[in-house]
A and B are shown apart, each in its own frame.
Chain A
Amino acid sequence: MTGALIQIEGLSYSYGSSDRPEAVALRDISLDIHPGEYLSILGHNGSGKSTLARHMNALLRPTAGRVLVAGWDTRDPSRTVDIRRTVGMVFQIPDDQIVGTIVEEDVAFGPENLGLAQSEVHRRVDRALDMVGLREWRDVPTHLLSPGHKQLLAIAGMLALGPACLVLDEATALLDAEGRATVLSVLDELRRQGLAIMAITHVLDEAARTDRVIVLDEGRMVLDEPPRQAFSNRERLRRLRLDIPQVTDLAQRLHHRIPCIRPDCLEVAALSDEILEAMGKS
């Protein structure tokens, strides 16, 4: 319990309106996220992934249960700014989170909202641009960036607030392979610097790189395991309207026929090595 960055206790959330019956989005979720963790949240469309994410930075507040970020309760309005400085969020559609007309201006938006002195704002902007590799792009108009770079810009904008955790809500869904690779390599660098990262994603290969896979189904948390275990049972995931990475699927099938091949490979290179080793033996 202690040392957890984010503590979610019995979180339930429903959004009802006067002319609609209560629609329950989240049911009794309890979860701890620790500093430096790298986890992914999977779930079919409508399972509540994005809703859960928005509770982490007080964009939404629980209907029941509570969410503590660095010890602060998200329902406490006086702590909202502190919470949002601690947990940053990057969204799916690159254009719809960029405010500034040039890169530098957009990254400065966050620190300016905190009312910091100009010199401090500049310092943070510089540092954030360095962390994502956009230093030379500081004067570039934002509409000229590729989608991948726009997402880097969004990340920089959050980093300028100095968060301990970054939540990515399907942030790579609309990117091509190159854009995705760029974003992932920046995330790896951020992890090295101790940032906790939570990736909400449909891309199974991305989930496979994380340390912890959490699966939501109809608003409930149904799985919380490392990827090797989470992906070990294809049927279970298919019932949850998900799937496993193709590499893992192949590894499992090969394992049935050639037992010396491990069934829990998550990456192409790992499985390739297993197969070559098996070839060497035969």
Chain B
Amino acid sequence: MTDPIIEISGLTHTYLQGTPRAVTALSDVDFSLSLSEAVGLVGPSGAGKSTLAQFCNGLLRPAARQVVQVAGIDTAQSSALVQTIHQRIGLVFQNPSDQLFEQYVGDDVAYGPRQLGLTREQVSERVRWALSMVGLDFDSFVNRFTFSLSGGEMRRVALAGVLALRPDVLILDETTAGLDPQGRAELLDLLSRWHKDAGLTLLLITTRLSDLPDLVDRVVVLKCGRVALEGSTVDVLGQSSSLAGLGLAAPPMAQLSHHLSRGGLDLPSVPLTVSQAEDAICKALRP
């Protein structure tokens, strides 16, 4: 296993420390992410997922040293070094409209590369590449007004804007929330291809556990700022009762498997997709 690109140990973070309104967002959290991994970070709202994500890309810095290491940099150090992290770790927020601020699509996607100090040709190349990665035609979109795009198009442009930095790691903070089935399927498909074909490291933050099968290898569950469960996707998503106790809903197939085992039918492993469930059940009923 290669050295983790993100290594967090014993991280505790309290907002407004020392004031009467102090809120502890994270308590003694250990987390690591290695290159080429795809990890799911889940938990009920308010669990601290976004806070953890922002430590992973240096937006938030810990009070103590040696607690958060990103791309070899101890983020408790001076902010000058920390800024280089943004090129390697990209963060995509939930609402596309929170991330678009240039008038034209081309300019917006070019924002990141320009901040890196690339030449005009290089910037243009990056924009072209990023737009193609999200399935938008360069020529028809580069001069469109960002604020006149449809929701789905805005989402793609926002993604392209982060991709244009060519990060090693992509963190997606609840990017599937509120999407219709088709939009969701398209986004998850894109992410899956980037991970499997291009080797992009993914950290997917979501409250919907059914986003995760077929996409991530490992799942970390947060609750009230602490790591409540972690393990491989199958292991974690298969624990229907534990997840229910944490206020989360296991994917339907995992729930089904749980019901079946309560009724006396144990499947060899917890199915997470419909195909897996179909095969497992047919085998069980007709050995």
Is any CB of A less than 8 Å from a CB of B in the complex? yes
A253–B278 CB distance below 8 A:
yes
B263–A282 CB distance below 8 A:
no
CA distance A273 to B177 in the complex (A): 32
Name the segment of B25-33, B164-172, B247-255 touching the other chain. Answer: B247-255
Which residues does B use to contact A, with CB under 8 Å?
44-46, 150-152, 177-183, 185, 207, 210, 247-249, 251-253, 255-256, 259-260, 263-265, 274, 277-278, 281-282, 284-286
B285–A275 CB distance below 8 A:
yes
Per-residue interface assignment for chain A, residues 137 to 156, with 1 indicating a CB less than 8 Å from any chain B CB and 0 otherwise: 00000000011100000000
B281–A275 CB distance below 8 A:
yes
B171 smallest CB distance to A (angstroms): 19
Which residues does A use to contact B, with CB under 8 Å?
44-46, 92, 146-148, 170, 173-179, 181, 202, 204-205, 241-243, 245-247, 249-250, 253-254, 257-258, 268-269, 271-273, 275-276, 278-279, 282
B256–A45 CB distance below 8 A:
no
On chain B, the residues within 8 Å of A44 by CB distance are 180, 182
B177–A173 CB distance below 8 A:
yes
Please pick, from B151, B180, B252, the residue contacting A241 in the complex, using a CB distance under 8 A: B180
On chain A, the residues within 8 Å of B255 by CB distance are 268
B183–A45 CB distance below 8 A:
yes
CA distance A11 to B253 in the complex (A): 40
A202–B179 CB distance below 8 A:
yes
On chain B, the residues within 8 Å of A148 by CB distance are 45
Secondary structure dominating the interface of A: helix
A177–B247 CB distance below 8 A:
yes
Least CB separation from B264: chain A residue = A276
A268–B45 CB distance below 8 A:
no
B44–A250 CB distance below 8 A:
no
Least CB separation from B174: chain A residue = A174
On chain A, the residues within 8 Å of B274 by CB distance are 246, 249-250, 253
CA distance A20 to B281 in the complex (A): 55
Please pick, from A92, A179, A279, the residue contacting B178 in the complex, using a CB distance under 8 A: A92
B256–A272 CB distance below 8 A:
yes
A176–B182 CB distance below 8 A:
no
B191 smallest CB distance to A (angstroms): 18
On chain A, the residues within 8 Å of B207 by CB distance are 176-177
CA distance A146 to B46 in the complex (A): 8
B256–A204 CB distance below 8 A:
no
On chain B, the residues within 8 Å of A178 by CB distance are 44, 247-248
CA distance A253 to B282 in the complex (A): 10
B285 smallest CB distance to A (angstroms): 6
Please pick, from B178, B263, B264, the residue contacting A173 in the complex, using a CB distance under 8 A: B178
On chain B, the residues within 8 Å of A247 by CB distance are 252, 256
On chain A, the residues within 8 Å of B285 by CB distance are 258, 275, 278-279, 282
What 5 pairs across the A-B complex have the smallest Cβ distances? A272-B259, A178-B247, A177-B249, A176-B207, A276-B263
